[in-house]
């Protein structure tokens, strides 16, 4: 009987309610503390790899001749480079002038300018800086693995992660195109400055968007065009010269 009377006391209901609320809050806090872990997906690179191996080699000497001997203004000079890159791909021109926004910016200045333009952030600078160091010291595989780990530690949102996922796919395409052209810009002898500039140009181009005219019948055409633009950029800048 005493037990029944105890159970009927109003404060017992209050105690139970508090305990239930406490357990619910703990569960909610636990869910908040569980960050989303992302992993890079390489579908874009895998679908483009064969096409990269089949495109014509980049005429670096021809490109340098155009750039070094141009008497045109900044926009028209870029238009010449744009036509040269599109022609090197052997299909309907798809690359747009926006993809060459930072083509005449050398070294680490490219990332600084992209930050001023609100295309990239100081956080992007740090990630690219570490990526370039890892690339120079340990190679591509370790650089990509470390980048993925750093991104997860930062707990970026899905939009920011997708930007970097596109970046790593594009970067692997660039490396393949450089290898096919015997352009060793990403080797340790080129140093951090070259790696940082190429990584910065790649991420800035991805972040700007609108790099290509949409081509629904050939979805790999845009990644190929951006790849060729970055390889052309790396072949021209002082940061990557011997």
Residue 217 CA from chain centroid, whole number: 24
Q: How high is the pLDDT of residue 208?
A: 85
For the whole model, what pTM was predicted?
Answer: 0.80
Decide if pLDDT at 69 tops 90. Answer: no
Are the beta carbons of 150 and 29 closer than 8 angstroms? no
Mean pLDDT on 23-28: 48
Closest CA to 88 of 65, 48, 62, 57: 57
Decide if pLDDT at 11 tops 70. Answer: no
Q: What would the pLDDT profile of 87-114 be if each residue is shown by its tens digit? A: 888 767 788 888 888 888 887 899 999 9
Q: What would the pLDDT profile of 201-227 be if each residue is shown by its tens digit? A: 999 999 987 788 877 667 788 888 899
Q: What does the alpha-carbon distance between residue 33 and residue 25 come to, in Å, rounded to a whole number? A: 12
SS3 state of residue 109:
helix
In the chain, what percentage of residues exceed pLDDT 70? 82
Q: How high is the pLDDT of residue 7?
A: 45
Residue 179 CA from chain centroid, whole number: 20
Q: What does the alpha-carbon distance between residue 17 and residue 224 come to, in Å, rounded to a whole number? A: 61
Higher pLDDT, 34 or 165: 165
φ, ψ of residue 126 to 5 degrees: the values are: -65, -45
């Amino acid at each position: 009987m005493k037990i029944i009377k105890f159970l009927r006391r109003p404060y017992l209901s209050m105690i139970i309610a508090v305990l239930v609320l406490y357990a619910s809050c703990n569960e909610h806090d636990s869910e908040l503390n569980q960050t989303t872990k992302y992993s890079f997906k390489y579908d874009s690179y895998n679908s483009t790899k064969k096409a990269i191996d089949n495109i014509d080699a980049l005429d670096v000497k021809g490109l340098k001749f155009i750039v070094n001997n141009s008497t045109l203004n900044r926009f028209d000079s870029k238009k010449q480079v744009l036509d040269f890159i599109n022609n090197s791909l052997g299909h309907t021109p798809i690359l747009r002038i926006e993809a060459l926004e930072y083509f005449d910016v050398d070294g680490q200045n490219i990332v600084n300018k992209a930050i001023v333009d609100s295309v990239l952030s100081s956080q992007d600078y740090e990630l690219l800086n570490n990526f370039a160091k890892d690339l120079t010291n340990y190679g591509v595989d370790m650089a990509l693995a470390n980048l993925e780990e750093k991104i997860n530690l930062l707990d970026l949102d899905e939009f920011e992660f997708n930007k970097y996922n596109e970046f790593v796919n594009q970067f692997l395409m660039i490396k393949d195109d450089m290898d096919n052209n015997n352009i060793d810009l990403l080797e340790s002898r080129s140093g951090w400055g070259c790696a940082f500039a190429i990584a910065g140009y790649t991420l800035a181009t991805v972040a700007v968007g609108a790099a290509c005219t949409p081509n629904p019948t050939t979805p790999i055409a845009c990644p190929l065009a951006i790849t060729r633009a970055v390889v052309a950029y790396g072949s021209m800048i002082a940061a990557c010269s011997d």
